Amino acid sequence: MKNLINKAVKTNRLSHSEIVEILKDETCNEYLFKAADYVRKCRVGDAVHLRGLIEFTNVCGQNCLYCGIRRDNSLVERYIMTPEEIFETAKRAAGLGYKTVVLQSGETQTYSIDTLCEIIKKIKTLDIAVTLSIGEKNEDEYRALKDAGADRYLLRIETTSHKVYRELHPEMSLMKRKACLHFLKKLGYEVGTGDLIGLPHQKDEHIADDLLFFQEIDADMIGLGPFIPNSQTPLKDEIGGTFEKALKVMALARLLLPSANIPATTAMETLNPNGRLIALQSGANVVMPNVNDTTYRSKYQLYPGKICLDDGAEKCRKCIEAKILSIGRTIATTKGFRTK
């Protein structure tokens, strides 16, 4: 097993069956995490990129079975931030030293493309990078948003298994999602994707396919997290993913895509009080602290146990900085584009 991991450190390649073998093995996890940490250090360095996350509306027209803000969850109190509020939040983030804001929302037509373009243009005057995470759009819409100044786009594939995808997204199509990722690449965005670990009926073989898919599309960013069952969704009685497994997949992503930007995700911290720091020491080099007002945080609960619900943007910024420095890492001062 160690030989396999050593090979991946040197070549950044693993076959499907080799990935499955590593995923099934439980004896070499620590070795894998150390190897991913080594590749991270060599390829992207010690600086951690902070991206300020703005969850600007929880209105969503999609109905993904795992997600707490799905259309059919009538228990969610929906909110819509105004363009001015979104800009003010971005301005506050820039003031706190963030060099990127991530505009994330449910998938909704609430804001027209023109309105979104205006928001992006205004935020770009702050001289920070803008990442969008607003779901599936058509090619013209993605182009307009890019022309307005958006730099990056996050769209997790969630799973590349047709069977699992269909079960979780009865109204959506895996083909369409892949097409979106291809449009985004073609238009020159830095493109992020990723998957959920521990979904019902997901097998190690599927996760290996996911990892090879990230490599095939040469993902610039890879966001991975454990699936955490939400009591307000149809998947409330499922078991969910484990921290350790999500960490393994993340470490493998670092070995296969050594120069990618990989966040230590909030969902990892939900399952382990030290989750983000452990992830940063197992291949991750990005953290995405929430910069929203506390009034909105509790309304954007994709899964239970979301961290920092009562903490303001300033507190999270200071808290995460202290944590990062405590493990001997630094805070990046650049916009943090991928350098291959």
Residues within the interface to ligand FES (CB under 6 A): 289, 308, 311, 315-316, 319-320
3-state class (DSSP) for residue 52: strand
Q: Which does 221 bind (CB under 5 to 8 A by kind): ligand FES, ligand 5AD, none?
A: none
Nearest distance from C-beta of residue 307 to ligand FES, angstroms:
6
Q: What whole-number distance in Å separates Cα of residue 234 and Cα of residue 72? A: 10
Q: What whole-number distance in Å separates Cα of residue 112 and Cα of residue 134? A: 12
Q: What whole-number distance in Å separates Cα of residue 219 and Cα of residue 182? A: 11
Nearest distance from C-beta of residue 243 to ligand FES, angstroms:
17
Nearest distance from C-beta of residue 312 to ligand FES, angstroms:
9
User: In the complex with ligand FES, which residue's Cβ is closer, 229 or 289?
Assistant: 289
Nearest distance from C-beta of residue 289 to ligand FES, angstroms:
5
Nearest distance from C-beta of residue 294 to ligand FES, angstroms:
11
Give the max Cα distance, the chain: 55
**Cβ atoms 176, 134 nearer than 8 A:** no
User: In the complex with ligand FES, which residue's Cβ is closer, 35 or 313?
Assistant: 313
Q: At what angle do helices 29-44 and 2-11 cross, to 10 degrees?
A: 10
Q: List the beta bridge partners of residue 191.
A: 153
Q: Which does 186 bind (CB under 5 to 8 A by kind): ligand 5AD, ligand FES, none?
A: none
Sign of CA dihedral 272, 307, 194, 207: positive
Which residue, judged by CB position, is nearest to ligand 5AD in the bound state?
A: 303
Q: Which does 227 bind (CB under 5 to 8 A by kind): ligand 5AD, ligand FES, none?
A: ligand 5AD
Q: Which does 315 bind (CB under 5 to 8 A by kind): ligand FES, ligand 5AD, none?
A: ligand FES
User: In the complex with ligand FES, which residue's Cβ is closer, 116 or 320?
Assistant: 320
Nearest distance from C-beta of residue 20 to ligand 5AD, angstroms:
22
Token readout for 130 is 């803008």
- How many residues does this entry show for the chain? 340
User: In the complex with ligand 5AD, which residue's Cβ is closer, 230 or 281?
Assistant: 230
Q: Which amino acid is at 182?
A: H
Q: What whole-number distance in Å separates Cα of residue 272 and Cα of residue 304? A: 13
Which residues of this protein are in contact with ligand 5AD, per CB under 6 A? Answer: 66-67, 156, 158, 196, 225, 227-228, 230, 267, 302-303
3-state class (DSSP) for residue 193: strand
The sheet carrying 286-287 orders its strands as: 286-287, 47-50, 330-331
User: In the complex with ligand FES, which residue's Cβ is closer, 63 or 266?
Assistant: 266
**Cβ atoms 58, 295 nearer than 8 A:** no
Nearest distance from C-beta of residue 227 to ligand 5AD, angstroms:
5
User: In the complex with ligand FES, which residue's Cβ is closer, 93 or 257?
Assistant: 93
User: In the complex with ligand 5AD, which residue's Cβ is closer, 25 or 107?
Assistant: 107
